[in-house]
Structure 1
Amino acid sequence: MAEQVEVDPVRLRAAAGQCDRIRESIRRTLSTLGVVVADGRTPWGDDGFGGKFADGDRGYLAARDNMLAAIEKMADTFGDFAHGQRVAADQLARTEHGNAERFC
Protein backbone atom coordinates (compact mmCIF):
# COMPACT_ATOMS: atom_id res chain seq x y z
CA MET A 1 0.00 0.00 0.00
CA ALA A 2 1.29 3.47 -0.87
CA GLU A 3 2.11 5.95 1.83
CA GLN A 4 0.16 9.17 2.06
CA VAL A 5 1.59 12.11 0.15
CA GLU A 6 0.91 15.65 1.27
CA VAL A 7 1.82 18.76 -0.70
CA ASP A 8 1.48 22.22 0.80
CA PRO A 9 1.58 25.02 -1.81
CA VAL A 10 2.88 27.51 0.78
CA ARG A 11 5.79 25.26 1.69
CA LEU A 12 6.41 24.48 -1.98
CA ARG A 13 6.71 28.22 -2.69
CA ALA A 14 9.09 28.54 0.27
CA ALA A 15 11.21 25.75 -1.22
CA ALA A 16 11.22 27.66 -4.51
CA GLY A 17 12.59 30.66 -2.66
CA GLN A 18 15.37 28.50 -1.24
CA CYS A 19 16.22 27.28 -4.75
CA ASP A 20 16.34 30.90 -5.94
CA ARG A 21 18.76 31.77 -3.13
CA ILE A 22 20.96 28.82 -4.01
CA ARG A 23 20.93 29.87 -7.68
CA GLU A 24 21.96 33.42 -6.79
CA SER A 25 24.67 32.20 -4.42
CA ILE A 26 26.12 30.00 -7.15
CA ARG A 27 26.01 32.90 -9.62
CA ARG A 28 27.77 35.27 -7.20
CA THR A 29 30.45 32.67 -6.54
CA LEU A 30 30.81 32.00 -10.26
CA SER A 31 31.16 35.70 -10.96
CA THR A 32 33.98 36.03 -8.43
CA LEU A 33 35.65 32.86 -9.67
CA GLY A 34 35.35 34.02 -13.28
CA VAL A 35 37.16 37.28 -12.49
CA VAL A 36 39.95 35.47 -10.68
CA VAL A 37 40.61 32.84 -13.36
CA ALA A 38 40.27 35.27 -16.27
CA ASP A 39 42.80 37.80 -15.03
CA GLY A 40 45.06 37.00 -17.98
CA ARG A 41 48.05 35.84 -15.96
CA THR A 42 49.72 32.62 -17.04
CA PRO A 43 51.72 31.39 -14.05
CA TRP A 44 52.50 28.16 -15.92
CA GLY A 45 54.64 30.09 -18.39
CA ASP A 46 54.85 29.97 -22.16
CA ASP A 47 57.42 27.23 -22.56
CA GLY A 48 56.76 23.62 -23.58
CA PHE A 49 55.80 22.54 -20.07
CA GLY A 50 53.41 25.46 -19.74
CA GLY A 51 51.87 24.63 -23.11
CA LYS A 52 51.36 21.00 -22.09
CA PHE A 53 49.65 22.13 -18.91
CA ALA A 54 47.40 24.79 -20.42
CA ASP A 55 46.65 23.87 -24.01
CA GLY A 56 44.68 21.14 -25.76
CA ASP A 57 41.38 19.41 -25.11
CA ARG A 58 42.56 18.17 -21.71
CA GLY A 59 44.57 21.23 -20.73
CA TYR A 60 43.87 23.71 -17.96
CA LEU A 61 42.23 26.31 -20.22
CA ALA A 62 39.69 23.85 -21.65
CA ALA A 63 39.05 22.36 -18.20
CA ARG A 64 38.55 25.85 -16.75
CA ASP A 65 36.04 26.79 -19.44
CA ASN A 66 34.18 23.49 -19.03
CA MET A 67 34.04 23.91 -15.26
CA LEU A 68 32.72 27.48 -15.47
CA ALA A 69 30.06 26.38 -17.96
CA ALA A 70 29.05 23.46 -15.71
CA ILE A 71 28.70 25.76 -12.71
CA GLU A 72 26.52 28.12 -14.76
CA LYS A 73 24.33 25.17 -15.76
CA MET A 74 24.05 24.20 -12.09
CA ALA A 75 22.77 27.69 -11.27
CA ASP A 76 20.30 27.47 -14.17
CA THR A 77 19.09 24.10 -12.86
CA PHE A 78 18.25 25.56 -9.45
CA GLY A 79 16.38 28.36 -11.24
CA ASP A 80 14.44 25.73 -13.18
CA PHE A 81 13.64 23.90 -9.94
CA ALA A 82 12.29 27.12 -8.42
CA HIS A 83 10.16 27.85 -11.46
CA GLY A 84 8.74 24.32 -11.49
CA GLN A 85 7.97 24.47 -7.78
CA ARG A 86 6.09 27.74 -8.20
CA VAL A 87 4.11 26.42 -11.17
CA ALA A 88 3.24 23.27 -9.21
CA ALA A 89 2.22 25.30 -6.15
CA ASP A 90 -0.05 27.50 -8.28
CA GLN A 91 -1.65 24.49 -9.95
CA LEU A 92 -2.18 22.73 -6.63
CA ALA A 93 -3.73 25.84 -5.09
CA ARG A 94 -6.10 26.23 -8.06
CA THR A 95 -7.07 22.56 -7.89
CA GLU A 96 -7.68 22.76 -4.15
CA HIS A 97 -9.77 25.91 -4.56
CA GLY A 98 -11.81 24.32 -7.35
CA ASN A 99 -12.38 21.15 -5.34
CA ALA A 100 -13.40 23.12 -2.25
CA GLU A 101 -16.00 25.08 -4.24
CA ARG A 102 -17.66 21.83 -5.33
CA PHE A 103 -18.30 20.87 -1.72
CA CYS A 104 -19.77 24.23 -0.71
Structure 2
Amino acid sequence: MSQPLGVTPEGLRSTSDHLNDVSSRMKGVLSSLQSKLSGEGAAWGDDKIGDQFANGDSGYLGQLDWVDGSIDAKTGLLDNYSEGLRTAADTLEGQDQA
Protein backbone atom coordinates (compact mmCIF):
# COMPACT_ATOMS: atom_id res chain seq x y z
CA MET A 1 0.00 0.00 0.00
CA SER A 2 1.31 3.45 -0.81
CA GLN A 3 2.10 6.12 1.74
CA PRO A 4 -0.41 8.96 2.12
CA LEU A 5 0.69 12.32 0.78
CA GLY A 6 1.17 14.98 3.42
CA VAL A 7 2.29 18.58 3.45
CA THR A 8 3.22 20.55 6.55
CA PRO A 9 4.00 24.24 6.97
CA GLU A 10 7.41 23.24 8.36
CA GLY A 11 8.15 21.11 5.30
CA LEU A 12 7.12 23.88 2.94
CA ARG A 13 9.29 26.41 4.81
CA SER A 14 12.23 24.01 4.81
CA THR A 15 11.97 23.59 1.04
CA SER A 16 11.53 27.35 0.66
CA ASP A 17 14.72 27.94 2.65
CA HIS A 18 16.60 25.37 0.54
CA LEU A 19 15.51 26.99 -2.74
CA ASN A 20 16.47 30.42 -1.40
CA ASP A 21 19.89 29.07 -0.41
CA VAL A 22 20.47 27.56 -3.85
CA SER A 23 19.46 30.85 -5.49
CA SER A 24 21.79 32.84 -3.23
CA ARG A 25 24.71 30.52 -3.96
CA MET A 26 24.08 30.72 -7.71
CA LYS A 27 24.00 34.53 -7.51
CA GLY A 28 27.26 34.46 -5.56
CA VAL A 29 28.95 32.25 -8.16
CA LEU A 30 27.75 34.53 -10.97
CA SER A 31 28.95 37.63 -9.14
CA SER A 32 32.36 36.05 -8.54
CA LEU A 33 32.61 34.99 -12.19
CA GLN A 34 31.64 38.46 -13.42
CA SER A 35 34.17 40.09 -11.11
CA LYS A 36 36.99 37.80 -12.22
CA LEU A 37 36.15 38.18 -15.90
CA SER A 38 36.00 41.97 -15.70
CA GLY A 39 39.37 41.99 -13.96
CA GLU A 40 40.91 40.04 -16.84
CA GLY A 41 39.85 42.47 -19.55
CA ALA A 42 39.10 41.50 -23.13
CA ALA A 43 40.03 37.95 -24.07
CA TRP A 44 40.70 38.87 -27.71
CA GLY A 45 42.66 41.27 -29.85
CA ASP A 46 41.65 44.08 -32.20
CA ASP A 47 42.21 42.06 -35.37
CA LYS A 48 39.73 40.11 -37.52
CA ILE A 49 40.21 36.89 -35.55
CA GLY A 50 39.66 38.74 -32.28
CA ASP A 51 36.47 40.27 -33.65
CA GLN A 52 35.22 36.85 -34.76
CA PHE A 53 36.01 35.40 -31.34
CA ALA A 54 34.16 38.16 -29.52
CA ASN A 55 31.29 38.86 -31.90
CA GLY A 56 31.01 35.95 -34.31
CA ASP A 57 28.35 33.25 -34.35
CA SER A 58 28.22 31.98 -30.77
CA GLY A 59 30.89 34.56 -29.93
CA TYR A 60 32.27 35.18 -26.47
CA LEU A 61 30.18 38.28 -25.76
CA GLY A 62 26.94 36.63 -26.87
CA GLN A 63 27.67 33.57 -24.77
CA LEU A 64 28.54 35.75 -21.79
CA ASP A 65 25.18 37.52 -22.08
CA TRP A 66 23.43 34.16 -22.46
CA VAL A 67 25.03 32.78 -19.28
CA ASP A 68 24.20 35.93 -17.30
CA GLY A 69 20.61 35.92 -18.54
CA SER A 70 20.16 32.20 -17.91
CA ILE A 71 21.38 32.41 -14.34
CA ASP A 72 19.27 35.51 -13.69
CA ALA A 73 16.20 33.69 -15.03
CA LYS A 74 16.85 30.54 -13.00
CA THR A 75 17.50 32.40 -9.77
CA GLY A 76 14.37 34.46 -10.39
CA LEU A 77 12.36 31.23 -10.70
CA LEU A 78 13.92 29.81 -7.55
CA ASP A 79 13.14 33.02 -5.65
CA ASN A 80 9.56 32.94 -6.94
CA TYR A 81 9.10 29.28 -5.96
CA SER A 82 10.63 29.95 -2.55
CA GLU A 83 8.27 32.85 -1.92
CA GLY A 84 5.29 30.80 -3.13
CA LEU A 85 6.12 27.92 -0.80
CA ARG A 86 6.52 30.28 2.15
CA THR A 87 3.16 31.90 1.34
CA ALA A 88 1.56 28.45 1.04
CA ALA A 89 3.00 27.50 4.44
CA ASP A 90 1.57 30.64 6.03
CA THR A 91 -1.81 30.04 4.39
CA LEU A 92 -1.89 26.38 5.44
CA GLU A 93 -0.92 27.31 8.97
CA GLY A 94 -3.62 30.00 9.07
CA GLN A 95 -6.26 27.53 7.89
CA ASP A 96 -5.23 25.03 10.56
CA GLN A 97 -5.65 27.69 13.25
CA ALA A 98 -9.05 28.85 11.98
Offset from partner CA, 1:25-55 (integer Å, 9 cap, x none): 0111010011122236223222111111111
Offset from partner CA, 1:50-101 (integer Å, 9 cap, x none): 1111114631101101211211221111111110000111111112222xxx
Stretch of structure 1 that moved more, 52-61 or 89-98:
52-61
Number of residue pairs aligned between Structure 1 and Structure 2: 97
Identify unmatched segments of 5+ residues in structure 1. 99-104
Between the aligned partners of 2:43 and 2:8, the Cα distance in structure 1 is 53
Identify unmatched segments of 5+ residues in structure 2. none
| Secondary structure, counterpart of 1:39 in structure 2 | helix
Between the aligned partners of 1:57 and 1:79, the Cα distance in structure 2 is 32
TM-score by length of 1: 0.81
| Secondary structure, counterpart of 2:5 in structure 1 | coil
Between the aligned partners of 2:90 and 2:57, the Cα distance in structure 1 is 45
2:25 aligned residue: 25
2:67 aligned residue: 67
| Secondary structure, counterpart of 1:75 in structure 2 | helix
Between the aligned partners of 2:50 and 2:63, the Cα distance in structure 1 is 15
2:91 aligned residue: 91
- The structure whose Rg is larger is 1
Between the aligned partners of 2:95 and 2:32, the Cα distance in structure 1 is 43
Stretch of structure 1 that moved more, 52-61 or 68-77:
52-61
TM-score by length of 2: 0.86
Between the aligned partners of 1:60 and 1:28, the Cα distance in structure 2 is 22
1:5 deviates by 2.2
